[in-house]
Amino acid sequence: MATNNSKRRILIFSTAYYPFVGGAEVAIKEITDRLGNDFDFDLITARLQKNSPEFEKIGNVNVYRTGVGRVVLDKLILPFVGVRLVSKLYKQNNYFCFWAMMVTFGSGAGFLYNIFRKLSGRKKIPIILTLQEGDSESHLKYKWAGLIALSWKLALWQTDFLTGISNFLLNKAKRNGYKKKVFLVPNGVDVRIFSQKIEDKTKIEIKKSLAKKEGDVFLVTSGRLARKNAIDDIISALTLLPENISLLIIGKGDEGPNLQKQAKELKVSDRVKFLGFLPYKDIPKYLSVCDIFIRPSRSEGFGNSFIEAMAAGLPVIATPVGGIPDFVDDKETGFFASPDNPQSIKVAVMTLLNDKTLRDNIVQKAQNRVLGGYSWDRIANQMGAVFDRI
């Protein structure tokens, strides 16, 4: 790693950043928090809401926001107004590389800036592109009449170093023409938070607030309420499962109203609890009163929620799509259901509930895998090694 007297400065591009939080934003913060002794970080992002300051420091990152505070407009103009900000910041800081988080509006500013440098006869700045996308192949090919697929090809053409959070994403990049060196740098989990022992008093309070009685079984899912996460399949599966089994849903998203409507139409609304957004540090407390984590994804770039649940000691039910097979082996570190198949969810749930030996073995092996390979300290070192290659 670099030494303190030779700290280098990196400019990060991300369409959103704190207080807007998803897997990509968490990854940036966790990695930069741990590499602050070796690198300085600036970040360009969209403003997205009017009360967000144009500049603030979050952890080890200087955050610069552009836009007027309107989500759609700020995203659309970010690649273009971002170029002007890049030019200004580069004159001040002479970045040794750019780090683009996903093929998005935000990363477009870095790619455009390099195109303009090349057209003016100047040397381009090395760009690291990190793939975190969880969308399906059909989304890439057909969304916006193929413009997303085109943006991928243009971004990959301009990328010098490519990292991906799963082999699935790295292989997708290769299929789209990327021929340079690739690096697998998965997302991680804060093992101190998710593997902590939750006090019995806290568990009793949460069970009481959720009306969990003796003999009740709680399935739990977390993440964005989006079609790709297939929460609708879990709700459908409830009609096939015993009435003592309920579902906790942690998160928000566009599909929320549709899921509530579905639960009502299927007459299981009393067994589905929408908890909304929970602070990150509180999620392990709710996981501790649950029995099985489940997300029967239709597509998945990686799936942070899975490794969080695994670290917390819950058996997970997943589907063998996207990046999930990187860390879930069927009946070893998790249990696979089939995509778009509520009946297979029923089989997976009942198998885990009825086979204690299988369940305990899965929990132990899953915890060992996550604690050994997915701590943020380990992931930050991997990303730091990529920076050092430039």
Q: What is the pLDDT of residue 235?
A: 98
Question: Cβ(217)–Cβ(291) under 8 Å?
Answer: yes
Q: What is the pLDDT of residue 141?
A: 55
Q: Where are the alpha helices (DSSP H) in the chain?
A: 23-34, 71-93, 105-119, 137-142, 147-158, 167-175, 191-194, 200-209, 231-238, 256-265, 283-287, 304-311, 342-354, 356-373, 376-388
The domains found in the chain, sorted by start residue, are 4-188+376-388 (3.40.50.2000), 191-373 (3.40.50.2000)
Distance, CA of 314 to CA of 297 (rounded, Å): 18
What is the per-residue pLDDT across 85-99, written as a single tens digit (0 to 9) for each? 999 999 999 999 999
pTM of the model: 0.85
Question: Cβ(181)–Cβ(368) under 8 Å?
Answer: no
Q: What is the pLDDT of residue 148?
A: 66
Q: What is the pLDDT of residue 50?
A: 92
Cis peptide leading into 257, omega within 30 of 0? no
Q: What is the pLDDT of residue 147?
A: 62
What is the per-residue pLDDT across 242-279, written as a single tens digit (0 to 9) for each? 999 999 999 988 899 999 999 999 999 999 999 998 98
Stretches in the chain below the pLDDT threshold 70: 1-6, 134-149
3-state helix, strand, coil in the chain (%, to 5): 45, 20, 35
Nearest-CA neighbor of 106 among 165, 54, 47? 47
Q: Which amino acid is at 193?
A: I
